């Protein structure tokens, strides 16, 4: 698969260092020079919300110091710099960022490394380092929209790394740590300025996505203005900063039912228990309106967690077909309260 | 008895129980206590599948099978003897 064949947007570029980002072999004490224009390429992609990481065979401290010297260190998250295989490095990066291999682009000057990575991770896309200047023009590195959330994506991941460090160092029960984060979860009806991000969420979210259906800006705007639908956007902040707009729900208002057409939550907030919050909110509101609740679901190879979430929220299957479409119904007799460590605001 | 202990340990170490005094008995409904989120739900299913070599079918994913230490234990035992 080449860069142009796959259609999936690239969420992360993983860079080799020697003869990819710079010319010269660092470990041999060469005079190291950045490749011309490489900084601009990295900055441009960063501003589009594409993450950068490193898979390089080098001494960690030497490489990081060199990157600092060039003013590039801040652009890379979860760098893997050591002498082990690059396929292992890619696996670690993928797991840390929590995205699919098919959303990663690996760039290296050595055919051997590209092939080694590809042999272990067939879904990944590899690029020869000589092509780095073409990167800003590649369609898969050009997200349809660049939103506030995409612009600060790296910062949000870096905040997350800080959180995780503190969490690991935190002695005591994890619920106390969660409480110490002072999480604030806001649910509000989508405004026009939320729609770009809403479309982006339908495209980028795989694991906590009930239907896998993507909607574009105009479709979402039509729902918003329809009077027969509610389009809800969720945002999470804590003392480290904002996680951005991380959740979306589309509800069709019918005579007897509220029908949940779409529910998704960014996987970055999976560990925070907020998926349950928005489900509970929708269930409460449906009950208040005196309606019953139905929900669409489509099984994919990635969204089992969402299926389990529905079932554990007491949704029952009403019907299903061979293609994995399921219609759920909830009798609203059991609605989980909001977790005490999250301050939920409904606007 | 041993199985129950294992389940209880798993729940205690993975559920976010906010108050220290929130004790639960083997028959308490952990869902009604408001402690269950998506991640815990998935962890629980994975734990049962991996540690006990059971495949949890979608049809088995009913709260009634997982709502308390006792129910989970019964579920695992019924799958193992099946």
- The partner residue sitting opposite B38, judged by closest CB among A178, A309, A340, is A309
Which among A178, A208, A306 has CB closest to B16?
A178
**Does A2 score more than 60 pLDDT?**
no
Is residue A329 within 8 A of residue A292, CB to CB? The reply is yes
Over 80: is that where the pLDDT of A1 sits? Answer: no
Q: Do A339 and B38 touch (CB under 8 A)?
A: no
Phi-psi region for residue A159, left (φ > 0), alpha (ψ -120 to 50) or beta?
Answer: alpha
The average confidence (pLDDT) of chain A is 91
Residue-wise pLDDT tens digits, A14-30: 999 999 999 999 999 99
- Across the beta sheet with A292-298, the strand order is A316-320, A325-330, A292-298, A257-265, A241-253, A229-238, A183-189, A342-346
| Structural domain that includes position B19 | 2-81
Average pLDDT over residues A288-292: 96
Cβ–Cβ of A336/B62 closer than 8 Å? Answer: no
CA distance B63 to chain A (A): 6
Q: What is the mean pLDDT of residues A303-319?
A: 91
Q: Which of residues 82-121 of A touch B (CB under 8 A)?
A: none
Which comes out higher in pLDDT, residue A184 or B14? A184
pLDDT of residue A245: 92
Q: Which two tokens stand for residue A127?
A: 């690029």
Q: Which residues of chain A have a CB within 8 Å of the CB of B16? A: 174-175, 178, 273, 339, 341
Q: What is the ipTM of this complex?
A: 0.85
Residues in A closer than 8 angstroms to B19, CB to CB, are 340
* Interchain CB distance below 8 Å, A175 and B39: no
Inter-chain CB proximity A270 and B39 less than 8 Å = yes
Q: What is the pLDDT of residues B11-58, one digit of tens each?
A: 887 776 645 556 788 998 888 776 677 778 888 999 999 999 999 998
Name A280's Cβ contacts closer than 8 Å, sequence gap at least 6: A313, A335, A336, A337, A338
Annotate A232-274 with DSSP letters as a single string.
Answer: EEEEEEETTEEEEEEEEEEEEE-SSEEEEEEEEE-GGGGGGTH
Contact A307 B61 (CB under 8 A): yes
Instruction: Look at A173 and A207; give whichever has higher pLDDT.
Output: A207
Provide the pLDDT for residue A91. Answer: 97
CB pairs under 8 A between A and B: 69
As a dihedral over the C-alpha atoms of residue B48, residue B49, residue B54, residue B55, rounded to 10 degrees, the angle is 130
Ordered by where they begin, the domains of chain A are 12-141 (3.40.50.1000), 148-346 (3.40.630.30)
Average confidence (pLDDT) over A173-201: 88
CATH number of the domain that B58 lies in?
1.10.1200.10
Q: Residue A228 has which token pair?
A: 């027969």
Provide the pLDDT for residue A320. Answer: 94
Rounded to a whole number of angstroms, the distance from the CA of B59 to the nearest CA of chain A is: 9
- Band of residue A6 on the pLDDT scale cut at 50, 70, 90: low
What per-residue confidence (pLDDT) applies to A165? 86
Residue of A174, A311, A336 lying closest to B16 (CB–CB): A174
Q: How far is CA A190 from the centre of its chain?
A: 20
Of A175, A312, A337, the CB nearest to B41: A312
- Interval A143-154 mean pLDDT: 86
Assigned token pair, A247: 């959740």
Q: With an 8 Å Cβ cutoff, are A308 and B45 in contact?
A: yes
Maximum distance among all Cα pairs of chain B, rounded to whole angstroms: 38
Per residue in A48-87, pLDDT (tens digit) is 999 999 999 999 999 999 999 999 999 999 999 999 999 9
For residue range A85-140, what is the model confidence (pLDDT) as tens digits? 999 999 999 999 989 999 999 999 999 999 999 999 999 999 999 999 999 999 99
Say yes or no for a CB contact (<8 Å) between A273 and B39: yes
Question: Which range has the worst mean pLDDT, A10-14, A125-129, A240-244?
Answer: A240-244
DSSP string, A176-193: HHHHHT-EEEEEEEPPGG
Band (pLDDT 50/70/90 cuts) for residue A4 is very low
* Shortest CA gap A178–chain B (Å): 9
Chain A residue closest to B18 (CA)?
A175
pLDDT at A292: 96
Is A9:A204 a contact under the CB 8 Å cutoff?
yes
Residue A150's pLDDT band, with cuts at 50, 70 and 90, is: confident
Does A271 reach chain B within 8 Å, measured CB to CB? yes
Instruction: Mention every residue, 6+ apart, whose C-beta is less than 8 A from residue A78.
Output: A53, A92, A93, A96, A97, A161
pLDDT, one tens digit per residue, over A247-256 is 999 999 999 9
- Give the model confidence (pLDDT) of A256-284 as tens digits: 999 999 999 987 787 777 888 999 999 99
Name which of A265, A306, A311 is nearest B62 (Cβ-Cβ): A311
Rounded Cα distance, B69 and B73, in Å: 6
Q: How confident is the model at residue A7 (pLDDT cuts 50, 70, 90)?
A: confident
Helix/strand/coil percentages in chain A, nearest 5: 40, 25, 35
pLDDT for the residue A179: 85
Q: Does B45 touch chain A (CB under 8 A)?
A: yes
Q: Is B21 within 8 Å of chain A by CB? A: no
pLDDT of amino acid A172? 63
Q: Measured between alpha carbons, how far is A344 from B18 in angstroms, rounded to an integer?
A: 16
The CA distances from residue A316 to A251, A263, A332, A333, in Å, are 18, 16, 11, 12
d(CA B23, CA B13): 13
Q: CB contact, 8 Å: B34 with chain A?
A: yes
Residue B3 to chain A, least CA–CA distance (Å) = 22
Tally of domains within chain B: 1
């Amino acid at each position: 698969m080449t860069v142009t064949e796959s259609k999936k947007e690239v969420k992360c570029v993983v860079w080799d260092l020697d003869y990819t980002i710079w010319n010269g072999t660092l470990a041999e004490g060469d005079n190291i020079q950045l490749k011309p224009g490489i900084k601009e390429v990295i900055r441009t992609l960063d501003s589009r919300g594409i993450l950068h990481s490193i898979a390089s065979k080098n001494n960690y401290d030497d490489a990081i110091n060199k990157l600092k010297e060039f003013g590039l260190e801040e652009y890379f998250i979860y760098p893997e710099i050591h002498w082990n295989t690059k396929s292992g490095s890619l696996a670690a990066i993928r797991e840390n960022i929590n995205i699919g291999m098919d959303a990663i682009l690996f760039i290296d000057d050595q055919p051997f490394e590209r092939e080694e990575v590809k042999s272990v991770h067939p879904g990944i896309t590899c690029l020869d380092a000589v092509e780095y200047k073409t990167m800003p023009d590649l369609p898969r590195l050009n997200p349809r929209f660049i939103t506030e959330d995409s612009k600060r994506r790296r910062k949000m991941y870096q905040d997350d790394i800080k959180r995780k460090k503190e969490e690991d160092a935190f002695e005591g029960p994890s619920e106390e740590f969660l409480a110490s984060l002072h999480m604030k979860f806001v649910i509000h009806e989508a405004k026009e300025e939320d729609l770009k991000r809403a479309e982006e969420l339908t495209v980028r979210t795989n694991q906590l996505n009930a239907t896998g259906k993507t909607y574009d800006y105009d479709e979402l705007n039509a729902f918003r203005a329809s009077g027969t639908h509610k389009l809800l956007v969720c945002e999470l902040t804590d003392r480290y900063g904002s996680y951005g707009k991380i959740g979306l729900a589309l509800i069709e208002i019918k005579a007897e039912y509220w029908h949940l057409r779409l529910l998704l939550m960014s996987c970055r907030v999976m560990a925070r228990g907020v998926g349950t919050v928005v489900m509970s909110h929708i269930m409460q509101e449906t009950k208040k309106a005196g309606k019953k609740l139905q929900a669409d679901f489509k099984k994919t190879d990635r969204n089992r967690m969402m299926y389990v979430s529905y079932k554990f929220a007491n949704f029952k299957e009403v019907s299903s077909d061979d293609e994995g479409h399921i219609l759920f119904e909830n009798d609203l007799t059991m609605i989980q309260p909001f977790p005490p460590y999250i301050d939920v605001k409904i606007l | 008895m041993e199985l129950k202990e294992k389940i209880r340990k798993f729940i205690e170490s993975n559920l976010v129980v906010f108050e220290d005094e929130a004790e639960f008995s083997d028959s308490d409904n952990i869902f009604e206590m408001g402690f269950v989120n998506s991640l815990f739900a998935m962890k629980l299913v994975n734990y049962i599948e991996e540690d006990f070599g059971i495949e949890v079918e979608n049809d088995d994913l009913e709260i009634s099978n997982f709502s308390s230490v006792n129910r989970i234990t019964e579920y695992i035992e019924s799958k193992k003897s099946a």
